[in-house]
Structure 1
Amino acid sequence: MLYTHATIVTVNASRSIYVDGAILVQGNKIADIGTTSELKATHSHEEEIDLTGRIIIPGLISTHMHTAQTLLRGTADDLELVSWLCERIWVMQGNFTAGDGYAAARLSIAEMLLTGTTTFLESMVSAPTPYLVVHILIFVQFADRYGFDGLCNAVTESGIRGCLGKIVMNIATYAKDPKWAMHPGLVEDREQSLLGALAMHEKWDKAANDRIRVWFGARTPGGVSDNLYKEMTALSRSKNIPITMHCAEVKTDRVFFDSCGHTPMSYCESVGLLGPQTVLVHMVHLDNSDIQKLAETKTNVAHCPTSNAKLASGICRVPDLQKAGVNIGLGTDGAPCNNTCDLLQEMKLAAIIHKSISFDPTAVPAEVVLEMATINGAKALGLADQIGSLEVGKKADFVAIDMRKIHLQPWFNPVSAVVYSATGRDVEMTVVDGRIVVQGGKLLTMNEEEIMTEAQRRSKEVVERAGLTNKVKSRWAEFKWLTLVDGPEHS
């Protein structure tokens, strides 16, 4: 297939931009890229899709996401992180069924594809069924009850690319504080979580034409013992299984590290977590020594500005991390702390918020943000040789944004237009692994109406089972509107 007449932002090593560009896709890879006139002359036999008026960018890569939480969108607004988790999110997720997890995954993936995300890193798949007192000794079944199979099936059917973190934990509180306990339905011990992760890696890694990669999704420090961290990190290196983990997100985390006699990164180093195989998420409360340690070890960071802002957690020191040479990707985090899975919206905030807090209008420009959402994300996932930029030989993952809209006109710099003006609703086409999965703004691989109907039903049921119906209502009075069938009565 030959995609022609688009403005193509390649994000290749020389950051080439083609004003009237074309991409040739053969199988699941980019076979050629250049000007439309050049490619039409040399590939005249190819079927053509005219993308005049569109900007093509590499498929967006979200380096932090919780698919299960999309079913809980809007149920935990205006709370700080620990209350948000302990009083709402963990309570609701602990009441999930496997079917709820699958429905949430489909909803998340549909939104991501429709808004231009072609690859995502799932942080921790959490248990979706009510707690079972009796231990099941077949560890695959523990991972199955997490909904891991359902998530993998949703990735397979949708066409998206997913790096999926299976939770690793053995402490059921936040920051080892007993008053911040997890819901029993989410609790696993070392055997269930670590061996379940290994079982899922054996079953699913590189499945779906290599679109699925299985990771360790370690809980935040305080949720995993030092010994289990060390066991997991040793396995990570011996079996080449990457790790993702929340870290230094809120002040409570910093208190925990201080109690251990560590800074965040000295603690992570002590248990083997640092290195290019690791993506650490949020990273808000860091010392200068932490930043230097990240750079020295080539550890990756996932920046989630909307989540950090909404939960009042603080903001990651992105300009300082960049100056030190740390690789930074971008993530939306979960829907209850962002309310969308739209990485284009996340890009705009990432480009703006650091200017505001640093009083520096040159901080984190649009070009840097697009790199964070594409090639930097690919580097963080260990996939930079396959995705993240538009180059011959790489996987054909790209997005076409329709610029023929009032709110996008006029435009001069395509990167500025995408980062500052576009949203996910402007995505017209999404291609993953050479396959068109969104065309004309419509999802081709799954039924949107079915996904929405199922999600609305299951979300209501989860909230009711959790006993939180009254907690998620509007602060304003609710009215029941009267339907006037025959018109108003007159006296």
Structure 2
Amino acid sequence: MVKMADIYIRGGWVLTLDSNRRIIKKGAVAISDGLIIDVGKREELDPSYKSFSDIVIEAERDIVMPGLVNTHVHLAQGLIRHCADYLPLIKWLKNRVWPLQGNYKPEEALASAKLVVAEMLKTGTTAFLETGLVGRYGPDNIIEFLHESGIRAAVARHVMDLKGYALEENVLHEGLVEPGDTSFKDTLRLYHKYNGLSNRIWIWFGPRTPGAVSLELYRKISETARELNTGITMHLAEVREDVEYTMKSFGKKPVEFAHWLGLTGRNVVLVHVVWVDDEEIMLLSKTGTTVSHNPSSNMKLASGAARISDMLKAGVNVALGTDGGPSNNTYDLMREMKHAALLQPVRTLNAEAIRAEQVVEMATINGARALMIDHLVGSIEKGKRADIIILDYWVPHIHPLVNPISHLAYAASGNDVKHSIIDGKLVVYDRKLLTIDEEKIIEEAEKAAWEVYNRAGICKEPDTVWPIL
């Protein structure tokens, strides 16, 4: 029977990530009205769609898979991705990152967000979780740009009423300080204005790290998020100082502290979660709380190696995040898969500590579950929204292709992405952005970065011991 499709993908390997985790050789996918309407073998689907679709993408030498979901992104840090090498977390924040972000103007924060989104779209991310915008960034402009770009996003708005980090008081840069009432009410305003927009934009609560939020405000955030059926994301147990703070101040380990305040559950994404013990891991599993694993950031800042293999064994939903520009230097989630795959064997001295399949799940279906949108995206199945990426495997570093899962985890990078489809619409085709102007974005970011560095009084020259002539 002849059928019509908006887009018909004639793939080489189709990784469905469905409940059976089917891998279809010589597979095909049909898309109509933003939905996946058919998945199967090319020989079975070709008669119905090959000659009767608006767009036919020949992908016989490609890997077709669900779009990647980045569960920890700092949009405001795109402009400052090189600002703080060789520093541990708290010095990194106090001396470089916070002073720069505390000097942003709205147009500069927007330029940063555009730069980050352009990079994510071109490297296979189709949905992401922003960890926390503040008022000085002009969150409305950023959210409206996200909608226009075509990407899918859960956007957290920072909420705070203290100025500390762990046991250090009054360390947050004044340019980032906001009263609790102001930041909380503005999150509600953004929620009522944008939440659910085009079924691609959601507004979450982004409480700052323990030390910057009072117990009363944490509880208020927890209660309100559940009333509104929205999410919460927060950094937790990233460094040893976080454990020292919750133990000394409250007699509770970090995950116990979060649970005590209602900051665990299906709607919560806790970020990093490096310094935890067996009991805390079981609590994460029992409550259905997601952990966003950011291996590059943890390695670069010498924060430690999270117990991801133990969490997966315990049934914790673990997803992947890139973190921000200064702690990673890239927003390429495909690269993050390799770091996640390699870090656990190093941590455990066990080559079987984690499998490539688990890492690919972390970057796709687990990420969708973290954002509470796994009923919409995260796998290639009939009836789901079409968030799909297509990678070129006809390249030396992914060839010969015997096991596409292994190559994704250990060999591929975001530069291998040829096409990206979000909600059934092409946003990247033949490695070119279709919804935003890449050249203009880069030019605006270059100008904005110099202005931020100059205003903050921080040298933008390369931090290198080599002579620059």
Q: TM-score, normalised by structure 2?
A: 0.96
SS in structure 2 at match of 1:411: coil
Show the 5 A alignment for 1:58-457.
58-128=66-136, 146-178=137-169, 181-207=171-197, 209-259=198-248, 260-457=250-447
Unaligned runs of 5+ in 2: 1-6
Distance in 1, matches of 2:460 and 2:125, equals: 34
Q: 1:322 is aligned with what amino acid?
A: L
Deviation at 1:452, TM superposition (A): 0.6
> Cα offset for 1:168?
0.8
Q: Distance in 1 between matches of 2:45 and 2:386?
A: 16
Whichever residue aligns with residue 112 of structure 1, its letter is M
Within 1, Cα distance between the matches of 2:289 and 2:460?
Answer: 43
Q: How far does the alpha carbon of each residue in 1:76-100 deviate from its partner, in whole angstroms, 9 at most, with x for none?
A: 1111000110110000000000001
Please say if residues 299 and 327 of structure 1, whose CA atoms lie closer than 8 Å, have aligned partners that are also in contact. yes
Query: Is the 8 Å Cα contact of residues 302 and 331 (structure 1) preserved in structure 2?
Result: yes
TM superposition shift of 1:221: 1.2
Give the drift of 1:258: 1.2
Give 1:477 deviation, angstroms. Answer: 2.1
Equivalent position SS for 2:381? coil
Q: Which amino acid aligns with 2:31?
A: V
Match of residue 11 from structure 2: 5
**8 Å contact kept, 2:83–2:460:** no
Q: Distance in 2 between matches of 1:242 and 1:173?
A: 24
> What is the CA–CA distance in structure 2 between the aligned matches of 1:30 and 1:105, rounded to whole Å?
29
Q: Which digits, 9 at most, give the CA deviation of each residue in 1:351-383, with x for residues without a partner?
A: 011011211111111110000000001111111
- Is 1:477 the counterpart of 2:467? The answer is yes
CA distance in 2, matches of 1:414, 1:358: 25
Structure 1 residues 466 and 127: CA distance shift in structure 2, 3 A = farther
How well do the aligned residues superpose, as a CA RMSD in angstroms? 1.1
* Distance in 2 (alpha carbons) for counterparts of 1:288 and 1:257: 17
Q: Which residue of 1 aligns with 2:452?
A: 462
- Code of the residue aligned with 1:32 in structure 2: it is D
Mapped partners of 1:352, 1:106: distance in 2 = 31
Name the residue aligned to 1:134.
Answer: none
Percent identity of equivalent pairs: 41
CA distance in 2, matches of 1:271, 1:472: 43
Checking the alignment, whether the CA contact within 8 Å between 1:62 and 1:121 is kept in structure 2 is yes
Alignment deviations for residues 317-358 of structure 1 (CA, whole Å, 9 cap, x no partner) = 001111111100000000110000000000001001101121
Q: Deviations over 1:33-62 (max 9, x none)?
A: 101111112234223221120001100000
Q: Say which of 17, 23, 33 aligns to 1:27.
A: 33
Provide the rounded CA distance (Å) in 2 between the counterparts of 1:443 and 1:149: 23
TM-score in terms of structure 1 length: 0.92
- Structure 1 distance, partners of 2:430, 2:231, is 36
1:361 maps to a residue whose letter is A
> Per-residue deviation at 1:173?
1.6
Aligned to 1:483: none
Amino acid in structure 1 at the alignment position of 2:467: A
Match of 1:45 among 31, 49, 52: 52
1:6 Cα offset (Å): 2.5
SS in 1 for 2:53: coil
The alignment partner of 1:53 has SS state of strand
| 1:164-202 Cα deviation digits (max 9, x unpaired) | 000011111211412x61111101111111101000001
Matched residue pairs, number?
A: 460
Query: Aligned equivalents of 2:432 and 2:48: distance in 1?
Result: 31
One-letter amino acid of the counterpart of residue 285, structure 2:
A
Judged with a 3 Å threshold, the aligned counterparts in structure 2 of structure 1 residues 471 and 255 are, in CA distance, closer, same or farther, namely farther
Matches of 2:194 and 2:464 in 1, distance apart?
41
Q: Does 1:16 align with 2:22?
A: yes
Aligned to 1:489: none
Q: Tell me, which stretches of 5 or more residues in structure 1 are unaligned?
A: 129-145, 480-491
Distance 1:471 1:249, change over 3 A: farther
CA contact (8 A) 2:73 2:323 kept: yes
| 2-structure distance, mates of 1:248, 1:269 | 13
Indicate conservation of the 8 Å contact 2:165/2:171, yes or no: yes
Partner of 2:4: none
Aligned residue for 1:429, secondary structure, equals strand
What secondary structure does 1:95 align onto?
coil
CA contact (8 A) 1:302 1:328 kept: yes
